[in-house]
Structure 1
Amino acid sequence: MKETGEIVERENSEKKDYDYDHHLEASKRLPPWTKQITIRGVFASVILGSIYTVIAMKLNLTTGLIPNLNVSAALLAFMYMKTWTKILQKLGIPFVPFTRHENTMIQTCSVACYSIAIGGGFGSYLFALNKKTYELAGGANSPGTYKELHVGWMTGYSFLICFAGLFVLIPLRKILIIDYKLIFPSGMATAVLINGFHSQGDDMAKKQIKGFAKYFSFSFLWAIFQWFFTGKGGCGFAQFPTFGLEAYKQTFYFDFSMTYVGTGMICPHIVSFSLLFGAIISWGIMWPLIEKQKGEWYPNNVPQSSMESLNGYKVFISIALLLGDGLYNFIKIMYFTYASIYGRLKRENLGLAVGSEKEVTETERLQNEVFIKEAIPMWFGVIGYTLFTIINAFAIPLIFHEVKWYYVIIAYIIAPSLAFCNAYGTGLTDWDMAYNYSKLGLFMMAAMAGKHHGVVAGLVGCGVMKAVLFVSSTLMHDLKTGHLTLTSPRTMLLSQAIGTAIGCVVSPLTLSLFSKAFDVGNPNGEYKAPFAIVFRNMAIIGVQGFSALPKHCLHLCYGFFGFAVGVNIVKDLVPKKIRKWMPLPICMAVPFLVGGYFSIDMCIGSLILLVWQKVNGKKAELMSTSVASGLICGEGLWILPAAVLSLARIKPPICMKFLSS
């Protein structure tokens, strides 16, 4: 028996050696990184990145909630390139085979492109600078502190702040991905999808593409059909009083938006239900009760959009929820980040490698080898970040005279440690906290600049910080995808740079198109840009304090701030089966400003997915992302022709309205 055991052990050892040798041969057969980036891939990235930028901008300007679209981008990239190569094949034109590396490269470019619409602040801190938001927030609170949004300076500003984020975490990429083995859930899910497409044959891919095409067509045609009934403001299926006219007045109705139904299918269920809970608390209970106090709590004669009216309660209570949730999670993630790093360092005798060689599979050996072989030099990251810090210290004050050069230097000194914490937290939880970390920049610069220049300086400081943090964590997600698909880190970095450059041009143009075609920033319209008013008022608070708030508003803010912190504490203490049903304060805050209609759309998407998972779990897992992506992209694509029709002054022929009998 002992001899037999030794033989088996020897055979297993020989097999492992063979597998490893086989993997080494496989790594040698991989195309060099210069071949992984193609001209057709860049062309595809421009198209897909532009489509996703339009979708992200719509979500930015309507609710400010944007789901992670990495998996969707990988699916669309595969579908686009497979269609392209099939056309060439039928025409008899020779072509280079489509590989997982090219698929990863296109996905990275597309995601980097639409990420600028989010990280660049086009629906939040940047839009908060314009005159309309300045007037909505009460111009008297901060006289003259606005800057109109023009494509020229927005493009230059985006290039300056977003490219710095590409360099900040390059020296730490091996620590985060190989040594600490962080999951980066979205990056991993994208890699699993791409590897599946290119290794499991075309059956799975064909089903997913067919599902995407079917629901894309439905969503696109439904958006066209709806357009014919939207003759004037407040018309169309989007205004259908689903639960009656009284509920409709309090924004409780299904607005037939396939974008939000699809978003509800992609987001975790608790996100959709937290939104609905927030809508019920605010529009169902609080706002009707506060409105009855009109004349006592706030004046009768102030405009509806004024911060001294009901709108003040909406804005500042949502800020209290956001700050409570953000501050708690900021402290928690900082603590766990440093505790985890300290624990690893102590456990490994100050060595950063985690786990022994026995824990590393042969596949992981190959992935690590490719990741390390195509190393990006540390000096490249350090010099790149330093160079952009120096350039931005001189260039940003030329765009915003309220900002001093040393404000920018201070922000860029603080940013790397926060970027590491954010990337570490994102790698563990998939929850990007750049939004919360950037508030440090907002309050810091607002306080330094003082009363006259603090609002603009605070918003710019928020932008500088958020762009670095958001772009760097996006790059880490994509490097994780590249690590698992055996794509060179150099390919990933260059793809991210190309996508960022495309995004810095496309995002300002997209915002300009939306601003000209639609009534963006109108608190009663479709494109409310809710986070613009939130960020502006946070900057005003940073400069002036709470003096301008209506009666009892500050007490309510304290209550909701405490509620946000309390919910998070309880969630961390109770068992997982109870925790998963507790609301997320950061999601609850959105309908306080926007209304309840979109939360109903998202809950319908979540319920569809829940029922589908119960009826046929395997099919739901395989197809849900494709179906959701089709619904989002179909309606999203219609925005472009709708904007062109609006600019050409071609109006829908019918106005469908619902009135009381």
Structure 2
Amino acid sequence: MALRSSQRRDDARTTIDSVVSDSDSVSVSDPDTPKEFSLQAVFIGLLIGCLLCFANLSFGLQTGWISMMSLQSALIGFLISRLLPIPLTAQEIIVVQTTAVATGVRGFFSALFIPILCKTMPLAAGFVGILPALTLLDEARDGSPPINLTWIAAIGWSCAVAFFGVFLSPPIRKQVIVKEQLAFPSGTATAQLIAVLHKMPPPNTTLRQRVGYVAVEEEDTDIQRTQDETDEYESVQSEGWYALASSFAASGALTLIAYFFPAIFSIPLFGSYLAQKWLWTFTPSLAYVGQGIIMGFPTTLSMSLGMLLGWAILSPLAKLSGWAPGPVGDMTDGARGWILWTSLAIMCADSLVSLLPVIAEYVAGLLPQRGQAVHAKEDDDIETEERLVPNSWVVGGVLVSVIVGTFLVWIVFGNDGIKPWATLLGFLLGGLLSILGVRALGETDINPVSGLGKISQLFFAWIQPGNIVANIIAGGVAEAGAQQAGDLMQDLKTGHLIHASPRAQFFGQLIGSAVSIFVTTTAYSLYNRAYVIPGPSFPAPTAYVWLSLARLLRDGQLPQNSTIFMIVFAALFALISAVKTYTARRELWYSQWIPSGVAFAIGFLNTPSFTIARLIGGIIDHVYRTRYAKNKSDIRLIVVASGFVLGEGVVSVISLVLKTSGVGPISCWGCTPGLCGGCSA
């Protein structure tokens, strides 16, 4: 299977080369060249990105899990563009998607352990992990008082880490997308969607269209679209807006009702005793269902298995054995804080094992004989120089972003928080880790940021021992570059398949990153002013992961009897990860059903209320795909899922305004004590 996969990539490259050799080069100024970078595309991308911004911040603070939403951004951008006098081209939709993802995801992935879809820029600003972790510091225990950044300080921190990965992406693109042609499944799926919507040849099978070709002749049987694909396009045109608007309205209405009657989102589905004593409630959020649809059944199944082990077995065991004497939901001495360590061990083992073959291949590629063989079959980028990002921009941008970023971190946190040389090392480590993260993402669709983040924390515990603040901040800087570069690479893969200009995407990424600094910081400030973070409404579970590991590296103390469980489950999931990696690389059909360690561990971090709704979404997706979908490119369910996610995300802004204005719930009747956001009951 691996040989056939390699052969398909070689065939694709041969097809492109034949087109280039048989066709005259098309100038960027050619009037027949499709528009790529336009103000309309950037504006629509920023609009969608701002909606995603509030949605992702809300979901990230609740569950520690965020979707990059690149496919959904492209879909919504396409639907909006149909309202314009001149609809956007496929290449402009790429700019819409790239700008939206840069704006809506860039600020929220810090400290998230995201096994899928993402793409999204992760640790860039750390608003769902690093910053909440700093607010949890205890001066007596950690040697530093809690750190609560002002709005302007948060702007400075965001500026420090927002652009490093953007400037890293062009040289990495040339290696992993152009030369090695790694798969990047989510980026490829987005390219497939755009091809369907614009009646283009399927990008993974018929790469006969090059930029500058306005249309493809229908008489060419090699690239003629199937009737199913044509029907899909017509369906999206006629039904897309209705499905999106309906699902958006339903999700938004339910979210608003739940704000005034919080018990709706805290249903004691398994009885009052399990709800109050063991936190087994159900949140019927349509947005969570939509996220489950987007994640897919295998991932949500892994999360649910983790939920069952963590909350139905290990949590009661720790509580009843006296290892976690506090309230079950307490992250300090309760069962939730106790199972966190097993979750951390699983994430690290899974991520590190999945990295081993990537490291081995990278090292092998550096050997003289292997390097010569690879070089012999490499071809230059088919893009013209004026469509690529100049090397001078890359070098200058990396240097400026590192120097300015180091200075800004020093200004924000001071010399006592982290030394400038440690921040500089964080950027350098992030550059190295980005290579590993991008390669893993390109081959498996999983960016192992959990393992990479823990590597960075271990490194800084060694070079700056005893300083918890420095450990968290420098580790976040390193992880930011690695995750950011990986997420951007999915966008660049989409653009490569649709033949969009890398320079146009680069501009979109820069604009989206710049806007996201202010949108994200303002959104977080508003949430932080209206709610307690971490708190019942926004528990920010990944904040505890960062802080707990930093404390362990400083003090060396683990909760009672947690060590043996960490060792056992780390070893078990190291083996499972090895098997999953082996089968996935050989494209064996059952690899997707082998549990994902990172997704499994996320089931520990979140209370059952978050996971159950996502499992429902995963089941809906599986049933639809296997029984009702018209073809593999059927995107009707994705349209509905996108509406669910955006509906709750947008209405969360309304809820935020109501909360800030002093408008509270109408009734707290039926609320489970401590589990209803907005109620003190």
Gaps of 5+ in 1: 1-15, 90-95, 231-235, 356-364
Residue 40 of structure 2 corresponds to residue 40 of structure 1: yes
For 1:557, the equivalent position in structure 2 comes to 566
Q: Kindly tell me: are residues 30 and 636 of structure 1, through their superposed partners in 2, closer, same or farther at Cα, counting changes over 3 Å?
A: farther
Q: Greater CA radius of gyration, 1 or 2?
A: 1
Mapping for residues 630-641 of structure 1, pairs under 5 Å: 630-641=643-654
Gaps of 5+ in 2: 1-16, 110-121, 201-229, 674-681
8 Å CA contact 1:272–1:603 kept in 2: the answer is yes
**Stretch moving more, 178-187 or 343-352:** 343-352
Mapping for residues 133-532 of structure 1, pairs under 5 Å: 133-135=136-138, 139-199=139-199, 203-206=234-237, 207-230=239-262, 236-249=263-276, 250-294=278-322, 297=323, 305=330, 307-339=332-364, 341-342=365-366, 346=370, 348-349=372-373, 351=375, 353-354=377-378, 369-370=382-383, 374-400=387-413, 401=415, 402-451=417-466, 454-522=467-535, 525-532=536-543
Amino acid in the other structure paired with 1:205: V
Shift of 1:109: 0.5
Shift of 1:594: 2.0
- Structure 2 CA distance, aligned partners of 1:462 and 1:241? 39
For 2:90, the equivalent position in structure 1 comes to 100
- Structure 2 CA distance, aligned partners of 1:169 and 1:153? 27
**Stretch moving more, 37-46 or 111-120:** 37-46
Amino acid in the other structure paired with 1:155: I
8 Å CA contact 1:169–1:416 kept in 2: the answer is no
**Stretch moving more, 193-202 or 60-69:** 193-202
- Structure 2 CA distance, aligned partners of 1:425 and 1:590? 20
Amino acid in the other structure paired with 1:627: V
**Stretch moving more, 626-635 or 41-50:** 41-50
- Structure 1 CA distance, aligned partners of 2:383 and 2:580? 40
Q: Kindly tell me: are residues 42 and 345 of structure 1, through their superposed partners in 2, closer, same or farther at Cα, counting changes over 3 Å?
A: farther
Q: Kindly tell me: are residues 313 and 100 of structure 1, through their superposed partners in 2, closer, same or farther at Cα, counting changes over 3 Å?
A: same
Shift of 1:71: 0.2
8 Å CA contact 1:475–1:493 kept in 2: the answer is no
Q: Higher RCO, 1 or 2 (CA under 8 Å, sep at least 6)?
A: 1
Q: Kindly tell me: are residues 153 and 327 of structure 1, through their superposed partners in 2, closer, same or farther at Cα, counting changes over 3 Å?
A: same
Q: Kindly tell me: are residues 570 and 370 of structure 1, through their superposed partners in 2, closer, same or farther at Cα, counting changes over 3 Å?
A: closer
8 Å CA contact 1:186–1:477 kept in 2: the answer is yes
For 1:6, the equivalent position in structure 2 comes to none
Q: Kindly tell me: are residues 161 and 658 of structure 1, through their superposed partners in 2, closer, same or farther at Cα, counting changes over 3 Å?
A: closer
Amino acid in the other structure paired with 1:269: F
Shift of 1:104: 1.2
Deviations 1:297-336 (A, max 9, x none): 3557x99736344344132222222222222223343224
TM-score (norm 1): 0.84
For 2:127, the equivalent position in structure 1 comes to 122
8 Å CA contact 1:115–1:471 kept in 2: the answer is no
CA RMSD of superposed structures (Å): 2.9
**Stretch moving more, 201-210 or 476-485:** 201-210
**Stretch moving more, 66-75 or 436-445:** 436-445
Amino acid in the other structure paired with 1:461: A
8 Å CA contact 1:185–1:429 kept in 2: the answer is yes
Shift of 1:440: 2.4
| 3-state SS in 2 of match to 1:36 | coil
- Structure 2 CA distance, aligned partners of 1:325 and 1:506? 34
- Structure 1 CA distance, aligned partners of 2:547 and 2:559? 17
| 3-state SS in 1 of match to 2:465 | helix
- Structure 1 CA distance, aligned partners of 2:534 and 2:475? 20
- Structure 2 CA distance, aligned partners of 1:44 and 1:106? 6
Shift of 1:140: 3.3
For 1:7, the equivalent position in structure 2 comes to none
**Stretch moving more, 373-382 or 576-585:** 576-585
**Stretch moving more, 598-607 or 376-385:** 376-385
Shift of 1:421: 2.0
Shift of 1:281: 0.9
| 3-state SS in 2 of match to 1:370 | coil
Q: Kindly tell me: are residues 105 and 530 of structure 1, through their superposed partners in 2, closer, same or farther at Cα, counting changes over 3 Å?
A: same
8 Å CA contact 1:345–1:351 kept in 2: the answer is no
Shift of 1:263: 0.8
Q: Kindly tell me: are residues 467 and 371 of structure 1, through their superposed partners in 2, closer, same or farther at Cα, counting changes over 3 Å?
A: farther
8 Å CA contact 2:324–2:338 kept in 1: the answer is no
- Structure 2 CA distance, aligned partners of 1:344 and 1:487? 34
Q: Kindly tell me: are residues 129 and 619 of structure 1, through their superposed partners in 2, closer, same or farther at Cα, counting changes over 3 Å?
A: same
Deviations 1:532-557 (A, max 9, x none): 01101111122222x2x332122222
Q: Kindly tell me: are residues 610 and 172 of structure 1, through their superposed partners in 2, closer, same or farther at Cα, counting changes over 3 Å?
A: closer
Shift of 1:388: 2.1
Residue 663 of structure 2 corresponds to residue 650 of structure 1: yes
8 Å CA contact 2:349–2:451 kept in 1: the answer is no
Shift of 1:165: 1.3
For 1:585, the equivalent position in structure 2 comes to 597
Number of positions where the alignment pairs a residue of Structure 1 with one of Structure 2: 603
8 Å CA contact 1:237–1:656 kept in 2: the answer is no
8 Å CA contact 1:127–1:149 kept in 2: the answer is no
Q: Kindly tell me: are residues 140 and 631 of structure 1, through their superposed partners in 2, closer, same or farther at Cα, counting changes over 3 Å?
A: same
- Structure 2 CA distance, aligned partners of 1:259 and 1:345? 52
Deviations 1:209-250 (A, max 9, x none): 3322221122122222333322xxxxx211122233344343
Q: Kindly tell me: are residues 253 and 393 of structure 1, through their superposed partners in 2, closer, same or farther at Cα, counting changes over 3 Å?
A: closer
For 2:6, the equivalent position in structure 1 comes to none
8 Å CA contact 1:145–1:456 kept in 2: the answer is no
Deviations 1:406-436 (A, max 9, x none): 2123233333332122212212222122342
- Structure 1 CA distance, aligned partners of 2:538 and 2:18? 60
- Structure 1 CA distance, aligned partners of 2:507 and 2:581? 40
Shift of 1:264: 0.8
Amino acid in the other structure paired with 2:666: P
